[in-house]
């Protein structure tokens, strides 16, 4: 049985904190920029003992099996916005799946609610937490599959706040962390779908002040950027995390690995995409089928639907993705499912590759770009032709996850990705000398540092 113990600044508790830090904390935070130092944690406990937090509060809770820490949480109560912040909550790998995390979360949330009632005589309004964004690229392996983590926090009642959150550097020797999403458990019914932007700004401001000791957050460039983004609207959308990663029940997605599912995919492909210069022969799908970096999915509204009403065909390239064909037909058409399908594709690309800069797709001139723009795609202002046959198409690009402005795509990266598309998708052995590459390269403005957009 795991017992929970809140630490103080006694010698015994500081020794327990050190043992936890050395054996579990460092291993569970592979990104050094995300790690709070042991010295800072101990200092916060000393400050708490001296009354430095005032109406605010700070908690370190260890989950102990005997004398061994198998779980832990660090949290803050912020009186000004009447919110809690869970800096982290972790369970040792061997102890996951048995309910320890949920029990620790309930214990932590109860402490924060007690703080609120003590400080202001009313219940807590919301709880914030940082989470690795499952749709953000990262150069480091995560300690837990990020989609699995998102679904756990979803079951716990947390939702994603739709604004560009960045954790400022925790020390002069660390960097800002850009692959996080701020999640929220609204405890007021009127905040379930959206949280007032002013509350989010104040929550982030006080979090920086009390948990990161940034005395004047307005002097912090990351906070100024977040405050400016939040000032653009009165409310911040609270996104369901299962929908954010495309794992709600709206789509039944199957890999077309077996012959029957592959044949069903091809039947839908022939029905949906009329023959022409922009359609591949069925033999191309068969050739790509054994490639582990190629994915062909069939889509249904429910698991009991006999035949697919949609499909997705895409490649994981060395540093990007290439989406060949997407179809949502019948009851799946105009059902608001494109964003969820794209989330599934992007999480698959990030599972295939630790870091991808985004994905590309070729769009014929007679296809409406509005649905693609709606989900964050951008039209590249380049001269691009399909290599076989030599047919002009529009090339779109989307970085993974949420987008809050135009993407930055270096011309050298674009050309490298085009070479991978020509090699992997079209089977061209010498892409640098192919007219598609040369025409596109010639269309880029000389000396440009970013690919122009239309």
Phi, psi angle pair for 245, to nearest 5°: -100, 10
**Cβ atoms of 285 and 307 closer than 8 Å:** no
Q: Which two tokens stand for residue 334?
A: 């105009």
Please state the length of the chain: 454
Residue 218, Cβ density class (10 Å: 0-12 exposed, 13-18 middle, ≥19 buried) = exposed
**Cβ atoms of 378 and 406 closer than 8 Å:** yes
Instruction: Report how far residue 78's alpha carbon sits from residue 269's, in angstroms, rounded to the nearest whole number.
Output: 55
pLDDT tens digits, 89-142: 999 998 888 999 999 999 999 999 999 999 999 999 999 999 999 999 886 777
pLDDT tens digits, 210-246: 999 999 999 999 999 999 999 999 999 999 999 999 9
pLDDT tens digits, 250-279: 899 999 989 999 999 999 999 999 888 889
Phi, psi angle pair for 91, to nearest 5°: -130, 135
3-state secondary structure of 323: strand
Instruction: Report how far residue 368's alpha carbon sits from residue 382's, in angstroms, rounded to the nearest whole number.
Output: 18
pLDDT, position 381: 97
Nearest one of 143, 340, 166 to 240, comparing CA atoms: 340
Instruction: Report how far residue 154's alpha carbon sits from residue 144's, in angstroms, rounded to the nearest whole number.
Output: 15
Determine the Cα angle at 399 with ends 389 and 378, to 5°.
60
Where the chain has pLDDT below 70, the residues are 139
DSSP state for residue 22 in the 8-state scheme = I
Residue 277: which H helix or E strand, with range? none
Residues 6+ apart with CB under 8 A from 120: 55, 79, 82
pLDDT, position 276: 86
**Cβ atoms of 154 and 240 closer than 8 Å:** yes
Q: Which two tokens stand for residue 288?
A: 């790509």
- Give how far Cα 165 sits from Cα of 17, 141, 244, 381, 409, Å: 29, 20, 16, 29, 21
Alpha helices in 100-231 (DSSP H): 100-120, 146-155, 197-211, 221-230
Cross-strand partners of 4: 63
Q: Which two tokens stand for residue 261?
A: 């599912």
Nearest one of 310, 324, 314, 305 to 267, comparing CA atoms: 310
Determine the Cα angle at 382 with ends 380 and 388, to 5°.
105
pLDDT, position 97: 87
Radius of gyration of the chain (CA): 25
Q: Which two tokens stand for residue 411?
A: 């011309």
Residue with tokens 């039944």: 252
pLDDT, position 361: 98
Crossing angle for the helix pair 221-230 and 197-211, nearest 10 degrees?
A: 170
Crossing angle for the helix pair 411-424 and 435-443, nearest 10 degrees?
A: 160
The pTM of this model reads: 0.94
pLDDT, position 447: 92
Residue 62, Cβ density class (10 Å: 0-12 exposed, 13-18 middle, ≥19 buried) = buried
Which domains does the chain show, CATH number per domain? 3-244 (3.40.630.30), 252-443 (3.40.630.30)
Q: Which two tokens stand for residue 66?
A: 């005997």
Peptide bond into 65 cis (omega under 30): no
**Cβ atoms of 150 and 131 closer than 8 Å:** yes
- Give how far Cα 367 sits from Cα of 278, 370, 372, 394, Å: 12, 9, 10, 10
Instruction: Report how far residue 248's alpha carbon sits from residue 30's, in angstroms, rounded to the nearest whole number.
Output: 29
Crossing angle for the helix pair 146-155 and 338-352, nearest 10 degrees?
A: 130
DSSP state for residue 168 in the 8-state scheme = P
3-state secondary structure of 435: helix
Instruction: Report how far residue 394's alpha carbon sits from residue 368's, in angstroms, rounded to the nearest whole number.
Output: 11
């Amino acid at each position: 049985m795991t017992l929970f113990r809140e630490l103080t600044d006694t010698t015994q508790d500081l020794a327990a904190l050190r043992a936890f830090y050395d054996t579990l904390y460092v291993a569970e935070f592979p990104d050094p920029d995300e790690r709070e130092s042991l010295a800072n944690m101990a200092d916060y406990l000393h400050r708490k003992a001296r009354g430095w937090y005032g109406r605010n509060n700070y908690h370190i809770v260890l989950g102990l099996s005997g004398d061994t820490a198998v779980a832990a949480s660090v949290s803050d109560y912020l009186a000004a916005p009447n919110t809690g912040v869970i800096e982290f909550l972790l369970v040792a790998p061997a102890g996951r799946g048995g309910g320890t995390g949920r029990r620790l979360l309930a214990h932590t949330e109860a402490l924060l609610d007690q703080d609120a009632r003590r400080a202001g005589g009313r219940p807590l309004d919301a709880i914030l937490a940082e989470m690795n964004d499952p749709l953000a690229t990262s150069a480091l392996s995560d300690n837990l599959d990020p989609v699995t983590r998102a679904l756990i926090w979803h079951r716990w009642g947390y939702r994603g706040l739709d604004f560009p959150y960045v954790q400022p550097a925790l020390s002069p020797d660390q960097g800002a962390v850009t692959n996080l999403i701020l999640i929220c458990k609204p405890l007021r019914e009127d905040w379930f779908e959206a949280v007032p932007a002013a509350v989010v700004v104040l929550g982030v401001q006080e979090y920086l002040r009390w948990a990161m000791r940034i005395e004047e957050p307005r002097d912090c460039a990351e906070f100024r950027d977040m405050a400016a983004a939040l000032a653009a609207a009165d409310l911040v959308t609270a996104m369901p995390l299962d929908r954010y990663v495309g794992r709600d029940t709206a789509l039944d997605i199957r890999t077309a690995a077996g012959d029957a599912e592959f044949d069903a995919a091809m039947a839908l492909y022939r029905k949906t995409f009329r023959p022409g210069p922009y359609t591949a022969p069925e033999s191309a799908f068969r050739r790509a089928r054994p490639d582990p970096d190629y994915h062909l999915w069939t889509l249904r509204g429910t698991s009991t639907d006999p035949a697919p009403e949609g499909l997705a065909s895409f490649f994981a390239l060395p540093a990007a993705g290439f989406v060949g064909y997407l179809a949502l037909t019948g009851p799946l058409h105009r059902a608001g499912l494109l964003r969820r399908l794209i989330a599934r594709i992007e999480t698959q690309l990030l599972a295939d590759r630790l870091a991808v800069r985004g994905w590309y797709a070729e769009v014929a001139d007679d296809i409406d770009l509005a649905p693609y723009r709606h989900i964050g795609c951008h039209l590249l202002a380049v001269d691009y032709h399909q290599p076989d046959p030599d047919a002009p198409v529009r090339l779109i690009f989307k970085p993974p996850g949420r987008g809050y402005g135009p993407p930055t795509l270096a011309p050298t990266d674009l050309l490298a990705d085009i070479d991978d598309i020509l090699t992997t998708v079209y089977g061209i052995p010498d892409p640098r000398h192919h007219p598609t590459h040369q025409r596109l390269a010639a269309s880029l403005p000389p000396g440009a540092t970013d690919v122009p957009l239309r």
